[in-house]
């Protein structure tokens, strides 16, 4: 080889090493190929109906969104904690009164009412973590009927809405602790000494569903997180996880993650109810409150893995699963053993008078489900499904009883894992919190949707994914982009309920309702003008309201239609007013006519061929 | 024995052939390339980071993917396990490496202009030391980042060593690390020095 050829070959080598091949980064997965079968299994033909309702919380939008399964189509929005002009919510007197001084809420965990541990399709309860409220939606008409709160002595209703087996209570635990009584100042540096948390039992009237605070239990200032209610062997009990058993007032990211264990609360709510009946509560903030140090038997603490999130009771009521979001395991506890330990007073000590159970003795097993386990749901066939935030996946695993072989290596009970996109928070299987889960679909509610949809700019929706859990392997079926931000959801069989589609005239007991033109009218008392108005295709009667500047105007608007979907709206130009009345419904709006001039009003909800003609005038004289 | 030493001495004093000088000049070009091109790439891929988070090490700087954002992202994620933030100012070698490369380029130029074999031997040995030392400090830095974790971090994990060449799983991330074109250039430079000595061995002259 001559020096010249050597030079050339050295040059070639150099060139070759300079070219780095462009390839997929190691570890990345190819995008899932879409097959025909998942599309077919989620296709609901035009005119055909979904099998299930999916009620998902809208997070800080404050609303409940209703979608159908398996299509994942958004069908309706139920406004709860925020105004919603589309249905006139927050403009009429009744809904304005419910919303009170707040314009928003932070909705987390919807809970369906139950009878005998099964969904009875009557009510959906939802919480507002921001303003300490719990609301009740009536599933007869899909309307918010009550907002209870701010709940006394409480701050942050994150640990709700967990409904007991027969809807005796909606149970609530506080995420935040505050100095009590509410409104008192204390230095947050004195957190451990001055602050308190609270567990509340909101009693539900069995007929009307009306919520009221039944009792409260004072707790140390842990941050109560999530919970579930018992059934079967754990009937009458409820469970919550907490973080910050360190009781740090500030810098929680580092200061609330020091200990290797945090406490779960094991609450005997029947005992709490009895204690109140026996007069063992003290009236605090207008509510009977139990100090668990003075009333034994209502509350116990169970150490669980560090900084846990979900604690979920299985459909049998025997297995309680807590996931430590900073430890890669789901810890399974046997409630029968917990019960025995309580009965035999086998405690390792106490925290502020609350007995602490022995973790090692009660742990059935730590299932190595994967990284960042958050919540667990059940299919009713002995399987559990845990969301893995860090790993961005759902793990399917088998509940006890386990064989000695399984116990040696609990990796064996982890049956399947499916990636989701991305960073799953909650997941839901229909009926998982009842005795009889549907066990057909799982909806993964993912926190990040980046890159999964056509770009909509920096404000991104969340992604929710439908997973088929009928086979031995989970299968991803469909994906939808859900309003920010679904924290949890409930799935209800569509045939479980038969909502009304018009308000029957005979049930309208509003004293100010009018059903024909001759009942309508305008009366004036001093500077108060009261209008009884009817809306019918395609007119308002009366269609002229005369007033003087400064008058207070009250309009009782009745939609006299009895036909499905014949909805009318009343929007008043430049008066920030839009009320919407469903067929057979009467709503009342009240406002000041402050400005002189003539202001048109018109029907805002398209009703008929002459919808455009459906208008009138508010004529205000000086 | 004396004869062998004299022979080596004579060999070391031998002027370089024209081919050797050409090869050394080519090597110098590669060396300068090594100073400018990326030396090493570290990549982290997770389900939620399918496109990967990328760090590229140059002799003089750290560059990160997505317009530099990947470094912020990596540091934000690492704070959960208590890892010290990765900042360029901690890499002292990024100040002395460009200087050293300049010195080696000048030495290569001298060898090409008035070179004798001993110049090349000096150059090769010193450069080999420089290369191994740089690699060792890089490996030490990786070890150090994974072994000095804040015990008060929210997530406590066992100390670990990010891999230097190849790939490994760390929690939900697949970490991969590979040399890049700049390192190949550095290697090529060393090869040209050896080749230049070879081309000027007695039989050829």
Write out the residue range of the structural domain in which residue B93 sits. Answer: 2-199
How far, in Å, are A266, B28, B32, B109 from residue B103 at the CA level?
A: 72, 11, 11, 10
- List pLDDT tens digits, range B45-88: 999 899 999 999 999 999 999 999 999 999 999 999 999 999 99
Instruction: Specify the pLDDT at position B202.
Output: 67
Asked if the structure places residue B9 within a domain, the reply is: yes
User: Distance between CA atoms of A597 and A618, rounded to whole angstroms?
Assistant: 8
Do residues A138 and A145 touch, judged by C-beta distance below 8 A?
Answer: yes
Q: Does B192 touch chain A (CB under 8 A)?
A: yes
Q: Is A448 touching B (CB cutoff 8 A)? A: yes
- For chain A, how many structural domains are there in total? 3
Q: Are residues A333 and A398 in the same domain?
A: no
pLDDT on residue A36? 55
Indicate the SS3 state at residue B187: helix
Determine, yes or no, domain membership for B204.
Answer: no
Number of Cα atoms under 13 Å in the Cβ half of residue A508? 24
Note whether B167 contacts A: Cβ–Cβ < 8 A: yes
What CATH number is given to the structural domain containing B143? 1.20.140
Q: Which residue segment(s) compose the domain that A614 sits in?
A: 508-621
- Chain-chain contact of A26 with B174 (C-beta, under 8 angstroms): yes
| Cβ neighbours of residue A234 closer than 8 Å, sequence gap 6 or more | A313, A317, A318, A320, A335, A339
A13, A17, A307: residue with CB nearest B181? A17
CA count, 13 A, side-chain hemisphere, A343: 6
Do A327 and A432 lie in one domain? The reply is no
Helix pair angle (B181-199, A3-18), 10° resolution: 170
State phi, psi for A228 to the nearest 5 degrees: -160, 165
Q: Give pLDDT, residue B21.
A: 95
Q: Can you tell me which residue has the tokens 């002189």?
A: A596
Is the residue at A471 inside a domain?
Answer: yes
Whether residue A116 lies inside any domain: the answer is: no
Cβ of B155 under 8 Å from any chain A Cβ?
yes
> Which DSSP letter does residue A176 get?
B
Q: Identify whether B10 is part of a domain.
A: yes
Element (H, E) at A18: helix A3-18
Whether A373 and A361 share a structural domain: no
Structure tokens at A258: 């020091």
From the list A434, A291, A280, A271, the residue with the least C-alpha distance to A342 is A271
Say whether residue A423 is in contact with chain B using an 8 A CB cutoff: yes
Is the residue at A74 inside a domain?
A: no
Give B77-131 pLDDT, tens digit per residue.
999 999 999 999 999 999 999 999 999 999 999 999 998 999 999 999 999 999 9
What residues form DSSP beta bridges with A218?
A: A198
Tokens of A405: 């072989």
Q: Residue A129 domain-assigned?
A: no
Tell me the pLDDT tens digit for each residue of B137-195: 999 999 999 999 998 888 888 899 999 999 999 888 999 999 999 999 999 999 999 99
Q: What is the CATH number of the domain that holds A586?
A: 2.60.40.420
| Residue A524 domain-assigned (yes or no) | yes
Determine, yes or no, domain membership for A152.
no
Residue where one domain finishes, among candidates A340, A365, A390: A365
Amino acid A258: pLDDT: 78
Query: Which of A500, A527, A553 delimits the end of a domain?
Result: A500
Residue of chain B nearest A420, judged by CA positions:
B47
What the block records as the tokens of B42 is 């570290």
Please check whether residue A242 is in contact with residue A262, taking contact to mean a CB–CB distance below 8 angstroms: yes
- CATH number of the domain enclosing A359: 2.130.10.10
The answer as to whether B153 is a domain residue is yes
Give the residue from A332, A365, A398 where a domain finishes. Answer: A365
Where residue A305 falls (left for φ over 0; alpha for ψ -120 to 50; beta otherwise) is beta
Q: Is residue A87 one of the residues assigned to a domain? A: no
Contact A464, A442 (CB under 8 A): no
Ranges in chain A, pLDDT < 50: 1-22, 30-35
Beta strands A261-268 and A299-305, pairing class: antiparallel
Please tell me the predicted confidence (pLDDT) of residue A4. 46
Mark yes or no for CB contact A27/B154 under 8 Å: no
Which residues, including other chains, have CB under 8 Å from residue A377's CB and lie 6 or more apart?
A: A312, A384, A385, A427, A428, A429, A432, A437, A442
- Residues A512 and A471 both lie in one domain: no
A492 and A429 in a common domain: yes
Same domain, A458 and A385: yes
Q: Is A28 on the interface with B (CB under 8 A)?
A: yes
* Residues A321, A372 within the same domain: no
Q: Is the CB of residue B173 less than 8 Å away from at least one CB of chain A?
A: yes
Cβ atoms within 10 Å, residue A478: 20
Phi/psi at A110 (nearest 5 deg)?
Answer: -70, 145
Q: Are residues A517 and A474 in the same domain?
A: no
Q: Looking at chain B, which residue has its C-alpha nearest residue A21?
A: B180
Hey, are the CB atoms on A392 and B173 less than 8 Å from each other?
no
Has residue B185 been placed in a domain?
A: yes
Q: Round to whole Å and give the CA distance between A142 and B173.
A: 44
Please check whether residue B41 lies inside any domain of the structure.
yes
Cα–Cα dist A332/A322, whole Å: 7
| Mean pLDDT across chain A | 93
Contact B47 A7 (CB under 8 A): no
Contacts of B199 in chain A (CB under 8 A): 3, 6
Q: Are residues A385 and A472 in the same domain?
A: yes
Number of domains present in the structure of chain B: 1
Tell whether A550 and A576 lie within a shared domain.
Answer: yes
């Amino acid at each position: 080889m001559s020096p010249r050829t050597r030079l050339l070959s050295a040059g070639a080598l150099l060139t070759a090493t300079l070219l780095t091949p462009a390839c997929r980064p190691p570890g990345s997965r190819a995008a899932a190929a879409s097959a025909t079968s998942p599309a077919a299994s989620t296709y609901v033909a035009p005119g055909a109906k979904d099998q299930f309702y999916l009620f998902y919380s809208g997070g800080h939008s404050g609303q409940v969104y209703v979608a159908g399964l398996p299509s994942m189509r958004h069908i309706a929005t139920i406004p709860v904690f925020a105004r919603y002009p589309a249905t006139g919510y927050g403009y009429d007197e009744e809904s304005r009164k419910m919303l009170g001084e707040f314009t928003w809420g932070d909705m987390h965990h919807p809970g369906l009412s139950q009878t005998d541990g099964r969904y009875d399709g009557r009510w959906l309860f939802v919480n507002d973590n921001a303003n300490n409220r719990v609301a009740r939606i009536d599933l007869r008409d899909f309307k918010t009927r009550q907002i209870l709160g701010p709940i006394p002595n409480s701050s942050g209703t994150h640990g709700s809405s967990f409904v007991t087996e027969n809807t005796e209570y909606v149970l609530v635990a506080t995420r935040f602790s505050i100095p009590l009584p509410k409104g008192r100042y204390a230095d947050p540096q004195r957190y451990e000494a001055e602050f308190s948390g609270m567990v509340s039992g909101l009693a539900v009237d069995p007929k009307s569903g009306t919520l009221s605070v039944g009792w409260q239990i004072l707790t140390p200032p842990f941050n109560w997180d999530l919970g579930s209610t018992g059934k079967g062997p754990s009937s009458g009990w409820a469970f919550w996880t907490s973080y910050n058993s360190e009781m740090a007032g500030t810098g929680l990211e580092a200061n609330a993650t020091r200990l290797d264990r945090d406490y779960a609360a094991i609450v005997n709510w029947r005992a709490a109810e009895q204690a109140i009946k026996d007069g063992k509560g003290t009236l605090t903030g207008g509510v009977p409150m139990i100090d668990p140090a003075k009333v034994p038997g209502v509350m116990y603490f169970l150490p669980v893995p560090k900084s846990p999130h979900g604690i979920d009771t299985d459909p049998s009521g025997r297995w309680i699963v807590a996931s430590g979001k900073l430890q890669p395991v789901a810890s399974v506890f046997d409630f029968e053993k917990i019960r025995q330990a309580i009965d035999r007073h086998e405690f390792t000590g106490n925290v502020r008078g609350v007995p602490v159970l022995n973790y090692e003795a009660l742990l059935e097993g730590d299932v190595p489900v994967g990284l960042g386990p958050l919540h667990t749901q059940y299919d009713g066939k002995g399987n559990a499904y845990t969301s893995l935030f860090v790993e961005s996946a759902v793990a399917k695993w088998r509940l006890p009883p386990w064989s000695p072989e399984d116990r040696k290596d609990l990796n064996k009970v982890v049956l399947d894992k499916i990636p989701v996109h991305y960073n799953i928070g909650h997941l839901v299987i229909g009926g998982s919190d009842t005795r009889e889960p549907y066990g057909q679909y799982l909806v993964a509610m993912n926190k990040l949707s980046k890159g999964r949809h056509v770009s909509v700019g920096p404000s991104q929706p969340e992604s929710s994914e439908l997973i088929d859990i009928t086979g031995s392997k989970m299968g991803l079926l469909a994906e939808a982009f859900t309003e920010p931000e679904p924290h949890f959801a409930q799935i209800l069989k569509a045939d479980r309920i038969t909502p009304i589609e018009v308000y029957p005239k005979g049930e309208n007991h509003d004293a100010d309702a009018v059903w024909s033109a001759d009942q309508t009218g305008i009366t004036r008392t001093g500077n108060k003008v009261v209008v009884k108005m009817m809306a019918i295709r395609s007119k308002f009667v009366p269609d002229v309201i005369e007033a003087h500047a400064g008058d207070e105007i009250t309009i009782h608007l009745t939609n006299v239609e009895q036909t499905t979907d014949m909805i009318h709206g009343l929007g008043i130009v430049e008066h920030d007013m839009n009320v919407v009345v469903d067929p057979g419904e009467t709503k009342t709006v009240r406002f000041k006519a402050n400005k002189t001039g003539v202001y048109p009003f018109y029907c805002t909800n398209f009703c008929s061929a002459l919808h455009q003609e459906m208008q009138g005038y508010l004529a205000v004289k000086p | 024995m004396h004869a062998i030493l004299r022979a080596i001495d004579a060999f070391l004093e031998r002027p370089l052939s024209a081919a050797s000088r050409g090869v050394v000049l080519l090597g110098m070009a590669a060396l300068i390339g090594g100073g400018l091109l990326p030396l090493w790439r570290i990549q982290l891929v997770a389900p939620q980071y399918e496109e990967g988070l990328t760090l590229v090490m140059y002799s003089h700087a750290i560059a990160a993917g997505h317009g530099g954002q990947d470094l912020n992202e990596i540091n934000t994620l690492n704070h959960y396990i208590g890892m010290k933030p990765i900042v360029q100012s901690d890499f002292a070698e990024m100040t002395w490496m460009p200087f050293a490369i300049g010195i080696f380029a000048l030495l290569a130029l001298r060898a090409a202009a008035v070179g004798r074999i001993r110049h090349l031997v000096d150059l090769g040995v010193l450069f080999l030391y420089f290369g191994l030392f740089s690699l060792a400090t890089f490996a030490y830095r990786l070890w150090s980042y994974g072994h000095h974790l804040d015990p008060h971090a929210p997530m406590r994990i066992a100390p670990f060593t990010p891999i230097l060449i190849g790939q490994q799983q760390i929690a939900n991330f697949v970490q991969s690390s590979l040399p890049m074109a700049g390192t190949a250039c550095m290697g090529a430079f060393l090869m040209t020095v050896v080749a230049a000595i070879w081309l000027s061995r007695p039989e050829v002259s």
